[in-house]
Chain A
Amino acid sequence: MDLKAWLADTRLVVCVGSGGVGKTTSAAAIGLYAATMGRKAMVLTIDPAKRLANSLGLETMGGEPTRIDLGPLGDGVAADGELWAMMLDSRGTFDDLIGRIAPDEAARDRILANHVYRHMADAFAGSQDYMATEKLYDLVQDGRWDLIVLDTPPVKNALDFLESPGRVVRFLDEKVLGWLLAPYDRQAVWGSRIMQGTSTIVFRLLGMVFGKEFLDDLATFLQDFGGLYDGFRARHAAVVALLRADTTQFLAVCAPTTSSTDVARFFLEELEARDLPRAGILVNQVHRTAFDEVGVPDDLRAVAQRVAADMPEGTIDRVLGRLQRAHVRLRALAATEQAQAASVGQAAHGVGFLQQVPRIRGEVHDLSSLLKVGQAIFEVDAPQA
């Protein structure tokens, strides 16, 4: 399968997978390769460890779109397109979003100043994931880019980042809000109001547990926040439609290890269950060997004797012994990895492509090594899984 053609038809690539499998590097390599194909590509990373900045050789990358200076890429590769990158600033994105959907400035300011909001924006588990999808939608609407590559956070719980917008919307559902706000709507004073039914008891218990200050803060917050329900719901629907679009492709990224291929398989199942478009699997960091025998080839021994002639006695044997040990281990590793790749390919049968990307020497933290990764992805024919 020709992955260049696949990329040409794609406008949004979502990379999913466990942590430490080169997901950020893959996302950046895809963006860079697209730029060499003349595309205007944006790579959005959510990772708090600033790894994309690292691999792009950028010291700092803020929450604003930054254009990467591609300069001369070497090997006669010219970048006709553009490569942009940005890091998600969860808090800033959330603030922006509130500003956009709040009915007026006063409401916006009340929300932004609220204790609950401030902590929710900072600490609400999943808000980072949620904000990523928000930002993604903004970038698509912006229209400056014809390809966006999203590097997702290494969430343990699979597709949490797709769930969190739904969680907020569900919570803002009028039923829940109405229930929580009931005592306040009646403008009753906390502790002295008279309420009926089990919800009152439960509500009072929650007050005992969380403290009345917290519930007061929460209610104030929700009175304003609740007004944003329609705005949130509309945005959520638009994001879901974007993720299901024909030009959106989810790519499962893994390393050739048991735990990582396991997670990739799980992602593919989850994507299928949610009816989201699956492109295929990238198996990163694959080791390869060509020589499949044990022992030291004669030509190597001869050459070693020549280049080590001036060295102390025993040097040659120790070096050859060391090489042999390294080779035995590399062969075993390569065999294990092929078995892993084969098993994930089998599980993903009929899904899309399965591309193996060899581990390249040294670390990928500049454009030329990123380009090598891109070439390994796109310039080698990918088998169907």
Chain B
Amino acid sequence: MKRAGQGRPDADVPDLQGLRDARLVMVTGKGGTGKSTSASAIARLLASQGRRVCLAELDSQRAALTAVFGHEPTFSPEEVLPNLWVMNITWPESLVAWLRTMIPVGRIVKAILANDTVRQFLDFVPGSREVVGLTVMQELQRRFDVVVVDMPASGHAFSTLDITRSALGLFRGGPVRARVEALRDMLRDDHTRLVVVALPEDMVVNETVETLERFRDAQLLGGRPLVLLNRALPPSLTTPERIVMDRLGALSMGEAAGDLIAAGQWDLEREAATEDAVVRLAEAARVQPVVVSPAPAGADPARTAEHIAAQLGRAMGVGREEVAWT
């Protein structure tokens, strides 16, 4: 039996060096897998390595990073920990920044945006939000060593990045086309990495495999995506222990004893699901995930991010104290 967390001959080992050296890290995954806490953890980890990191959320009215850092990020990056800046790539501000990259005269940009009709036009142009958001990420790379982006859920994240392909048919000339080509090259760059956060649950693993396939088929990315298997429990029991556990599970016990046995079965179920997830990711996508155990119950988002950073750091060979949150 293969144990979770160990290498499988049919899967590529996680490209942690690629993550360590990345200049753009985009974090996605099915809803509820812990994208925002994982993105925060990666940003924290890279910052602890002495890199200047900007952690950005992609246009959310309800910034999920607020829960991690205690206050709402805005369009202007704010240093929250040493080497770590946090921001929200909000639409109106991004639009201004984007127009500035096209039209260098600030006064003209202002005049354009003062026109209501133009604003609605820009709102309506297909793909404008995606192109503008990606442009801001690209601009941020000039100011920071690495940009970590908390992307939308996988389906939406794919269409956001796929705009670099589909929009080429739409914009057949002009600076916007050149811009889209530059964004396409940014995604194909070897220093750009996609991280997909998954959980050891059938539906999540299925969606993760689908997401990896879509990205592979569309050839949008240069580097190999990294999969983070969050809230996973590697197997903890020997065969005799497992047999005893099964025997106990088959008995009808008093309330207290039954409660302990049920708790144990929850854990065992998660352990089995972790193994299944590792096998399925290897077989269907040739991917070996980085396995991250659940944070202690009741851990707040900051504590959870620290927990993930510590485990990811261990996989990278970084000491735990280096990624402490405070």
Contacts and interface: CB of A to CB of B under 8 A. Distances in A.
B218 interface: no
Nearest first, the 6 A-B pairs at minimum CB distance are A19-B31, A20-B32, A211-B174, A211-B173, A332-B297, A300-B257
Q: Which of A156, A167, A202 has the most CB of B within 10 A?
A: A156
Given A115-B169, A210-B176, A125 B260 contact: no
A327 B245 CA distance: 14
Interface residues of B, number: 86
Contacts of A198: 111, 115
Interface string B9-43: 00000000000000000000011110010000000
Interface in B160-188: 162-163, 166-167, 169-177
Nearest to B269: A361
Contacts of B206: 49, 54
Given A19-B31, A120-B126, A202-B115, A213 B244 contact: no
A362 interface: yes
Interface string B252-263: 011111111111
5 contacts: A19-B31, A123-B163, A156-B60, A213-B173, A363-B202
Interface residues of A, number: 88
Contacts of A308: 240, 244, 247
Secondary structure of the A contact surface, majority rule: helix
Contacts of A251: none
A311 B296 CA distance: 31
A47 B176 CA distance: 31
A202 B170 contact: no
Contact of A154 (B31, B59, B210, B248): B31
A365 to B, nearest CB: 7
A333 B270 CA distance: 15
Contact of A324 (B120, B159, B260): B260
Interface stretch (A2-10, A31-39, A105-113, A253-261): A253-261
Contact of A336 (B166, B262, B297): B297
A253 to B, nearest CB: 11
A218 B129 CA distance: 17
A158 B254 contact: no
A208 B241 contact: no
A326 B32 contact: no
B127 A123 contact: yes
Contact of A211 (B64, B171, B256): B171
Contacts of B62: 156-158, 262-263, 266
Interface string A359-377: 0011101000000000000
A205 B207 contact: no
Interface in B95-125: 99, 102-103, 108, 111-112, 115, 117-118, 120-121, 123-125
Given A156-B62, A209-B103, A327 B243 contact: no
Interface in B126-177: 126-127, 129-130, 152-155, 159, 162-163, 166-167, 169-177
